[in-house]
Structure 1
């Protein structure tokens, strides 16, 4: 009895540390009749008498599913009804979680220690101490630091499953597991597997200055995925286009890929931040539209410093797999261990605004159709080309000649009319208007900050000899109204 209570307490501590248990002061909304969406597939919600032990066609009990309530999160009981088709689809998606006792990853000399309080709380302390004694300078588990890598693996794994087996693939026995085994084993926790935790860590160290044991963010995860895809062409993805700071996609970059091969498969990884401390409610419809697309391969997001893999939604709640459930590193049953019907629900208001969106495009026709889907999106923008591709080749002498008398400092009024180093200069008037970027002049959808979508250039050392504007990066950003204006029309030399 005491042993059981000890295990129960440890489970509670882990769930609290991962934020699985919702605050008791807030009752989650219940959507009894709302449809469920799973990566572009829609399933009707149904009202039935509670029957938590009713089996699925795949032979597992419904009690494996996790709803949104307190006891549901704690004990994994089914508090609502799901169709067998929905549950089978959920179980068929690939899900990667924490692992223990895998091939050791050497600690970096200037990196974190494998033995930490965070790992002791979240893992079995005895196993952790045993591993530390056996390999004091190695990581034998990613508990406490690998959750973003695991959700990145889930995103990539579901993209590859869809690419090779189709979206209608279902896990319904050993034969189907064998069919996808080659794909899933690419993610096994060994240095030889192309998409293993070990290789994510190696790519993160090289590209993002991440040490083993350090938590990845969306940008580091996206860069690692891109590098690993390029290093393993056999995976079938021809190109991986990454944006680590926006949902902007540039048509000229995509068209270059299709010129070489109209049937190219492209994975888009879009790192976005949809608010300051929480997701802005105005983005809800666009997030749902992304997950409801046939091109969607999910979103790696979650709570602050606690990543989750979102694969669908119901009403205002988003459905996710939780990577914070540790499993032993296994070879024989690895593929089977990457499937589960246990999922959680998270309200939009609880989501972290930083997330990594995955979209898989299979050929030029797919691309044209998807462009129409996202025309009204407040998150994804299809632009003609990058603004730093524009030819803005004015010398610094030309810039200073633009109303030179005005662009000087008025010492009497203590106002600065000059262009100083570090100034944000609005050069929208002199750039070609090939696309409608940002829509209206004011953008009130970015929390409560009234910002202006401007094309700006950050001025560096204006005294450098032979300096010209091609030395400075031009980009569209949201800034407050503190930019230095350039009168229009400008000098004809520009």
Structure 2
């Protein structure tokens, strides 16, 4: 009994330490995120509308699901929340195995761009293995994150949680979903959950995780980056490419990453990436049919994002093959996944959570999914970002390039598109190779922190 009490005390201690890290690294909690009932909400190519017939119960399913413009999917609040919460959420972690060559066992304060890049990569992998319509069955059962400031009242809640755990109590939740009918359907559900766990495990926080922070930091060394440095969106794009290229898991051989050069996508290079040239010898059945995640580092203005690009960003996030944007505020990276009116919807990596051992077969998935979205005005968006797309085949890429040509048409005031498509290979234009990566930045740990947003519930106006 004494050992059990000691374990519970250690768990409580861990909770308090995590709470302190969340204050220190700008996860200062505020109450709500507000969404309008009267404007559509776009989330990675899907469109939802919150205007419910029953105004007194805005969080319940509406009785109608209309279609806007024929190809936009509309839904209610519950459908939006389930879609958002099904996206993989990667945040700061602590107490993971030390990063090679350092004593760091946490990426708190410096790893937010890496985490945002991981989230974008995770979305590409979800599209690849599960498709855009996949949602996690437990998404709506997630417990909302605390929406109070870390005051004495929040501390009391932690103590109450600790006491409840000693008494064997469990937080109330909905009953498990009923088993699928039929063996075929049950097998399909099981397979989808296997892929869901596989994606999360590849992004885990251990040296053996194929796409985890340990591997990303190692790949960053060739770009002059060390653990504890700040990573810019363009640097992370190249790190992700290296990580996927050198991954050894057989399931990852059917996908690769292409990074645009100098805001230019060279079509022949992307087609080659799909597998027609430079095929890896061990690609097996995926030969000639690899999917490609296309990453395009861009700069949307000078010191601040040019407002002329706001509609461009909206157009990008409205496309079903978009896997999001690595962006954020200056020195504070977010993963942008959608928008409503003049606000971006994002997932925030600035939340310190405890290490999870993803090598076990039954590791908890709850901390890898965010229950509530956050919003940020377009006007606060840092101009430096990396845009991502998923292309399943050469035919998909041809369709993507045609559709993007419409989105890329510059406005009357902004004469130049954010990026361009060029025929041929990059080498045909005598390019010296990948552009120089961003200069080394100071880590967050050396900077004063501003209060940031958090994941709380959202409110309809």
The answer as to 2:291 corresponding to 1:265 is yes
* Corresponding residue SS for 2:119: helix
Q: What is the alpha-carbon root mean square deviation over aligned residues? A: 3.3
Matched, 1:149 2:114: yes
Q: 1:104 aligns with which of 98, 101, 110?
A: 98
Q: Report how many aligned residue pairs link the two structures.
A: 330
Q: Distance in 2 between matches of 1:227 and 1:155?
A: 15
1:239 corresponds to? 256
The secondary structure found in structure 2 opposite 1:267 is: strand
Rate the CA distance shift 1:56–1:231 in 2: closer, same or farther, 3 A: farther
Matching residue of 1:172: 137
**Per-residue displacement from partner, 1:309-342 (whole Å, max 9, x unpaired)?**
1111111111101000111011254433211222
**Residues in 1 aligned to 2:19 and 2:112: alpha-carbon distance in whole angstroms:** 22
1:89 corresponds to which residue? 83
**Is 2:420 aligned against 1:381?**
yes
Contact 2:81 2:372 in 1 (8 A): no
**After superposition, where does 1:158-307 map in structure 2 within 5 Å?**
158-173=123-138, 177-205=193-221, 207-232=222-247, 234=250, 235-243=252-260, 245-246=262-263, 248-258=264-274, 259-260=276-277, 263-307=289-333
The more displaced of 376-385 and 337-346 is 376-385
TM-score, normalised to structure 1's length?
0.60
- Per the normalisation by structure 2, the TM-score is 0.64
- Alpha carbons 1:279, 1:352 under 8 Å: kept: yes
Contact 1:218 1:244 survives alignment (8 Å): no
- Displacement of 1:217 after TM fit? 0.9
Pairs within 5 Å for 1:16-95: 17=26, 31-46=36-51, 49=55, 83-95=77-89
Cα offset for 1:7? 9.9
The answer to whether the Cα contact below 8 Å between 1:237 and 1:267 also exists between their aligned partners in 2 is no
More helix by share: 2
Residue equivalent to 1:358: 388
1:316 aligns with 2:331: no
Larger Rg: 1
For residue 184 of structure 1, report the CA deviation from its aligned partner. 1.1
SS class of match (1:143): coil
Say if 1:347 and 1:251 are closer, same or farther in 2 by CA, change over 3 A: same
How far 1:222 sits from its partner (Å)? 1.0
Once residues 364 and 328 of structure 1 are traced to their aligned partners in structure 2, the CA distance between those partners, rounded to angstroms, is 41
Secondary structure of 1:139's counterpart equals: coil
In the alignment, is the contact (CA less than 8 A) between 1:264 and 1:364 conserved in 2?
A: no
Do the aligned residues in 1 keep the contact of 2:343 with 2:376 (CA within 8 Å)?
A: yes
Structure 1 Cα separation of the partners of residues 269 and 100 of structure 2: 38
Q: Hey, what's the Cα distance between the residues in 1 that align with 2:306 and 2:370?
A: 31
1:113-146 residue CA offsets vs partner (Å, 9 max, x unmatched) = xxxxxxxxxxxxxxxxxxxxxxxxx111110011
The higher relative CO (CA closer than 8 Å, separation ≥ 6) is in 2
Q: Which runs of 5+ in 2 are unaligned?
A: 1-12, 63-74, 139-175, 177-189, 278-286, 409-416, 436-461
